[in-house]
Chains A and B, each alone.
Chain A
Amino acid sequence: MSWIDVADLNDIPLPGARVVKTHFGDIGLFRTGEAQVFATSNACTQDGGPLSEGIVHGTRVACPIDNSVFDLETGALLGTGEGHLQTYPVRLDGTRVLLERESVLARGAA
């Protein structure tokens, strides 16, 4: 797998999130621990709310618009309702945050 460097760990608040822009929409980078980052599609499956603006708690995030809670690791919507966020492989190299190249670039090229 080849990786693409997108951020420094210290640029992401703890606990909190930042956004990576891609050809197919925003990806949220969620920092849930000193050296733990998840990447998922940034739009809430229920109302499109920007999840990177939600409150990150444990390894979950609550949508800032409708409070839908997602498990950042699996992308699953918790509680009632159906929905699944796209998740993306993340790797940490020291304090650098890397996303898997194919998964974040491929669709834009197509």
Chain B
Amino acid sequence: MGKKKLVVVGAGMASGRALEHLFEAEPGEWDVTLFNGEPRGNYNRIMLSPVLSGEKTYEDIVIHDDAWYAEHDVTCRFGEKVVAIDRDAKTVTGEKGDVAYDKLLIATGSNPFIIPMPGHDLDGVIAYRDLEDTNRMIDEAAKPGAKAVVIGGGLLGLEAAAGLQLRGMDVTVVHLMGHLMERQLDEAAGYLLRKELVGRGINVLVSTNSKQILGEDGKVRALELENGTELPCDLLVMAVGIRPNTALATEAGLACGRGIHVDDAMVTSDPNILSVGECIEHNGAIFGLVAPLYDQAKVVAQTLIGEEAAFAQKELSTKLKVTGCNLFSAGDFAEGEGREDIVFRDPARGQYKRLVIEDNKVIGAVLYGDTADGNWFFGLIKDGTDISEMRETLIFGPAYQGGAAVDPLSAVAALPDDAEICGCNGVCKGTIVKAIGDGATDIPALRATTKASASCGTCTGLVEQLLEVTLGDSYAAPTAQPMCGCCDHTHEDVRRLIKAKGLKSQAAVWQELGWKTVNGCPTCRPAVNYYLLADWPLEYQDDPQSRFVNERRHANIQKDGTFSVVPRMWGGMTTPDELRAIADAADKYNVPTVHVTGGQRIDLLGVKGEDLPNIWADLNAAGMVSGHAYSKGLRTVKTCVGKDHCRFGTQDSTGLGIKLEKKLWGSWTPHKVKLAVSGCPRNCAEATCKDIGVVCVDSGYQIGVAGAAGMDVKETERLADVATEEEAIELATAFMQLYRENAQYLDRPYKWVAKVGLDWVKERVVDDLEERKRLNEAFELSQSVYRKDPWAEHTDKPEEFAPVADLTQIAAE
């Protein structure tokens, strides 16, 4: 009996492993012909990254060399493409002739997906798939000053980027999704990875759409993004995914879906044809990681020698080292029904761990930084171990069962010595730590020696933590109230750490400050959203999903679920035309209640949610904008009619009120802010119980701040008396900005001033002219983003306010 004839199409890692098993089981019984499109045999494709970065050479990563093929009598037809399969004649046609088979193994692997955007066929646009691509990258990187753009922030893209960067290229990664490697990592781990890569000098753009590739003389010149930005490049690597290569199988009439259909024995719809690797589809799944491919290869060999064998998909874990960053993910770590998270973050060491628990079992895990416990967690996932007994300490891994607790001080410990702790007096961590070492071992002593926390006092919590970190157990800190159960920091500490550590995203805050929940809670998330937008007006984008309903809907929700709509009336002034438009809108949208507010404007109550964009559009058309009657921001500037009409009036109080309102509207603040301007000390506008109140007198303007007329009633305190309108506006603006920069979320100005002291405020807003100027400039910068009508931005998206589906229109079956 002659040898059995096996033809293999594709010399990749899967078919290579299948051959190894086959030759081991039945040595000398098979006559194998091996086709490969690449002009070489089986090499370790996973190791192309070290080849790119220069740590290895191609020779190092060869799996089967010429000697191996010769030893096993494999007829190698490398560099020769297979043109057709004749299933009736049982022959395979290569470019250089036919070969007959008893069994055929298709292992055509996958093709890189090239986005068919304009310019994708330019020279210099490549995938990252094989040795040719790798060599091309190495050549391009050798040119001085060369720039590369990598589209795709998955594993392959990042390895390409890291390799190119190591070879000296200026590299930018462009990723469509909101965080890197979103299939393997959650947002928090994605944030850490990005931070690491950026730290190494790789530019990373996420949530970024590419528009087209620009060329010059047929060669790539730049990538144009959807926002019009051009990223110049000499090389563009597309690493956006792979697709099973089914062309040959489809041509031969084999059943294919996304991949070549195979059964558990790895047999295709033709009993004499098997398939293995990235080209197959098994039970609806396709495969990209090497572990299942090797499992398949084993089954292929068993099927070929006539043994019963079945490939079963297993729980998978991915342990990766992307450019030196340790990552681990396993199981299903999407948030899901009945699932809970256990999250551990160690900001000092840049570590993140998250376990997903369902029915007292670990079903998924994501680790960043320290992946040592990955296999242990993976074991728990595979075995379905009941973890209820060790739940409390589970996240610390096998070594810590019953052990250490999270250290709330790690965020402070991780600060560099030059991080500013006390903003008032410009005292940094190093100075404080040194003073502690020199014997200042409590807050009063530190205040005396360094001035840290000696002014507004909001950094006291941080200074206390420094004492704790430096002195250890010998310092007993007074307990401060943390923001909420999600973290161990007070509001003041979070504000200060956001500034000191330059945290510019929610993900950054959660990670660097050791949040214990995935994305905060209704207490901390709105506060953190405010702190970020107040500190980084240009860099941070307001997140509506972190706002309470009124600020998300730009209207006040009423107890029956309807909303109220209040258009702005600048300084309490209106016109017959505006009133007519308001009346028309009230009629058109069946507004049941029209009310005149205490802030001198008109409230339309009982508007249905889905009508909001339409009523806004009508009011916009009449020249009116949102009154922000719902916001933690500027509400109204109440005025009296002033000297134009009133015989007691000393100044143009309405005019000043309108100017103040036009300057301050749209800005977000820690809590609502109400102003008033009265034309004389009779104070008809009730300016002396406002957050900022101006009382006009013959000699100018008396500016009071920190009044209240709510749960507490309190008269304003005098900030200053000034002679001109300009100065009045400047002081009001500076006060507003100081409040925006320093107050705790949901503290009205009177509460905040009570904490920091009016003298501290005066020093900055009144006495220090440079600081007053800075505050005004910072406010204006923020207003360049926020001084706009939120209603106008939503009138063209009415569908967002409507139900996403209406099933009352569909009859039940």
Taking beta carbons and an 8 Å cutoff, which residues of A are in contact with B? Answer: 4, 6-7, 11-16, 18-23, 26, 29, 32-36, 38, 47-50, 53-59, 62, 64-65, 67, 69, 73-74, 101, 104-106, 108-109
Nearest Cβ in chain B — how far from A10, in angstroms? 11
Given contacts A33-B336, A106-B812, contact A50 B561 (CB under 8 A): yes
Nearest Cβ in chain A — how far from B58, in angstroms? 38
Given contacts A20-B803, A21-B808, A65-B559, contact A57 B337 (CB under 8 A): no
B545 touches A15 (CB 8 A): yes
A4 touches B807 (CB 8 A): yes
Given contacts A35-B334, A73-B338, A109-B812, contact A57 B805 (CB under 8 A): no
Report how far A64 CA is from B518 CA in the complex, Å: 21
Report how far A18 CA is from B559 CA in the complex, Å: 19
A57 touches B525 (CB 8 A): yes
Report how far A48 CA is from B340 CA in the complex, Å: 27
Q: Can you report 6 A-B residue pairs in the complex whose CB atoms are below 8 A from each other?
A: A7-B805, A53-B552, A57-B522, A58-B341, A59-B335, A104-B807
Which residues of A have CB within 8 Å of B804?
6-7, 11-12, 18-20, 29
Interface residue from A12, A34, A62 paired with B182 (Cβ < 8 Å): A34
Interface residue from A7, A14, A101, A105 paired with B545 (Cβ < 8 Å): A14
Interface residue from B518, B557, B803, B810 paired with A105 (Cβ < 8 Å): B810
Judged by a CB distance under 8 angstroms, whether B339 is at the interface is: yes
A58 touches B519 (CB 8 A): yes
Report how far A20 CA is from B805 CA in the complex, Å: 5
Nearest Cβ in chain A — how far from B321, in angstroms? 24
Report how far A55 CA is from B805 CA in the complex, Å: 21
Report how far A53 CA is from B548 CA in the complex, Å: 8
- For chain B, the count of residues having a C-beta within 8 Å of the partner chain is 40
Report how far A57 CA is from B529 CA in the complex, Å: 14
Report how far A102 CA is from B340 CA in the complex, Å: 29
Residue of A nearest to B343 (CB): A58
B813 touches A105 (CB 8 A): yes
B545 touches A16 (CB 8 A): yes
Nearest Cβ in chain B — how far from A32, in angstroms? 5
Interface residue from B520, B557, B805 paired with A53 (Cβ < 8 Å): B557
Interface residue from B337, B522, B561 paired with A67 (Cβ < 8 Å): B522
Which residues of A have CB within 8 Å of B561?
48-50, 53
| Beyond A20-B807, A50-B557, 9 extra complex contacts between A and B, CB < 8 Å | A7-B804, A11-B804, A13-B544, A15-B519, A19-B803, A49-B561, A65-B557, A69-B522, A105-B810
Judged by a CB distance under 8 angstroms, whether B549 is at the interface is: yes
B557 touches A22 (CB 8 A): no
Which residues of B have CB within 8 Å of A23?
807-808
B548 touches A26 (CB 8 A): no
B812 touches A108 (CB 8 A): yes
Residue of B nearest to A19 (CB): B803
Nearest Cβ in chain A — how far from B307, in angstroms? 38
Nearest Cβ in chain A — how far from B256, in angstroms? 19
Report how far A87 CA is from B19 CA in the complex, Å: 52
Task: In the A-B complex, list the 4 residue pairs whose CB atoms are closest, starting with the nearest.
Answer: A109-B812, A33-B335, A105-B812, A64-B549
- Residues of B763-813 contacting chain A, CB below 8 A: 803-808, 810-813
Given contacts A11-B804, A32-B335, A33-B334, contact A55 B548 (CB under 8 A): yes
Q: Looking at A12, A55, A101, which has the most chain B CB atoms within 10 Å of its CB?
A: A55
Which residues of A have CB within 8 Å of B553?
53
B526 touches A4 (CB 8 A): no
Which residues of B have CB within 8 Å of A53?
549, 552-553, 557, 561, 609
B807 touches A55 (CB 8 A): no
Nearest Cβ in chain A — how far from B562, in angstroms? 10
- Residues of B393-417 contacting chain A, CB below 8 A: none
Report how far A55 CA is from B547 CA in the complex, Å: 7
Interface residue from A6, A12, A47, A50 paired with B807 (Cβ < 8 Å): A6
Residue of B nearest to A53 (CB): B549
Which residues of A have CB within 8 Å of B810?
4, 105
Which residues of B have CB within 8 Å of A101?
813
Judged by a CB distance under 8 angstroms, whether B733 is at the interface is: no
Nearest Cβ in chain A — how far from B182, in angstroms? 7
B335 touches A47 (CB 8 A): no
Judged by a CB distance under 8 angstroms, whether B521 is at the interface is: yes
Interface residue from A13, A18, A48 paired with B803 (Cβ < 8 Å): A18
Which residues of B have CB within 8 Å of A38?
337
